Structure 1
Amino acid sequence: MNKVVLVEDLGSKDYKETWDFQEELFKDVVDLKIRNRREEANLETPNYFLFVEHPHVYTLGKSGDLSNLLLSEKQLADKGATFYKINRGGDITYHGPGQIVGYPILDLENFFTDIHKYLRLLEETIILTLAEYGLKTERSPGETGVWLDVGTPFARKICAMGVRASRWVTMHGFALNVNADLGYFDNIIPCGIRGKAVTSLQVELGVEKVDEEEVKSKILKHFEELFECELKSAVLQGFSNGTRIEQI
């Protein structure tokens, strides 16, 4: 089992471009697994973790309700935002500047074959990260993600999650509001959940700006501990004759 996870920070990237890149990595891993089974090969499957920040975009999961988007096409354009219906779980969410998005593309057969456990460990990664900033965050029963003040009239989500998995290979992931403009959430019913607010690390700490690079390093530290893996920085360069090239 390969427990090395190759990490790349893509910086600010268009959502569709990043989605296509995820799909390439995902397909690469799935195809390798199929080859292993068909040929009784024993080729090692890679694992990836992408950080990215997207320009303003709304995405709707495969089971989501389009009515949870409260903007017309013209209003989307006026706000400089785009919209995509995508193949992850969950309903509608927003991505934009000041938000840390993480896309782990893992072959769970390298770790454990349990999607429920995978989601809980992703949540725990964020919970432990935010605890380092003095925030007590938690899970909300029946609602994936990370929340504050669950069970009170002041419940608010700080991190959304939505994943896809096939043949035990994951894609999509989490979106943590760090310095995000929360006004963009007013244009949707976040995750299809009415009556609950959205917050950010910046708002909760009452500071002008949070160091996003510091937050990323804390996320990686807890991810590495919880998944009992080894993280390596990588530059992922596309395909050459069908083989992914990695520079470590």
Structure 2
Amino acid sequence: MDPKGHAAIVTGAASGLGAETAAALAKAGSKVACLDINIEGARQTASRIGGIAIKCDVTSESGAVAALKEARDKNGPARILVNCAGVGPAKRMVGRDGPMPLAEFEKVISINLVGTFNMMRLAAADMQTLEPLADHERGVIVSTASVAAFEGQIGQTAYSASKGGVAALTLPAARELSQFGIRVAAIAPGIFATPMLTALPQAAQDSLGASVPFPKRLGEPREYADLVLFIVRSNYLNGEVIRIDGALRMAPR
């Protein structure tokens, strides 16, 4: 699908991967709705790229329904959804203070996995009503997994479980939505220069970058965004989880 002229929704668009993806889609000619619970950040992104900003808690059914309605009313029905909203706290399952509070595990699962599914189901319901394009395609959904889905480190039980769920969700969703001409894919980034990592001391960032086989650096959000555009444009790419990690395989710690 050529993204030009089509409405797109990007969650987690206030910063990092989401902000860069929103910018790339806008540059490619999409009408972009920047969704984030951080509405001020979303407004900054939207202002920079010529999009619209909408406050959205992806874990809320009513909130997501309202956000998609607002995006649809302003930009028209979206043919592109990119799920970038997520959190990545590190905490051991059993630490010095005892077992991880169950509520903390549930929060990560709720945002990263349930939130992704919530947006997928609602966007797909809209997409299936659209007229098919010349290639019989109605829409594309791209979600964000992580290399932690496959090589989770110590302290990443919640994060890995959530991203493993996103990875596992991709193929059955693609199979189910194929009848409507909707493709589903996911990206599994390695160590990227998102706000969470760039807040670390430079020495720590350099050390993390040096652990990547090649190129020996942190991934850049624009590289994630480039892959999103490649997926959107590649009609035969469906049901796949694509790693983008410089050949990194995470060590236990």
TM-score range, shorter chain: 0.3 to 0.5
Bigger relative contact order (CA 8 A; separation at least 6) = 1
The structure in which a higher percent of residues are strand is 1
TM-score, normalising length: structure 1: 0.33
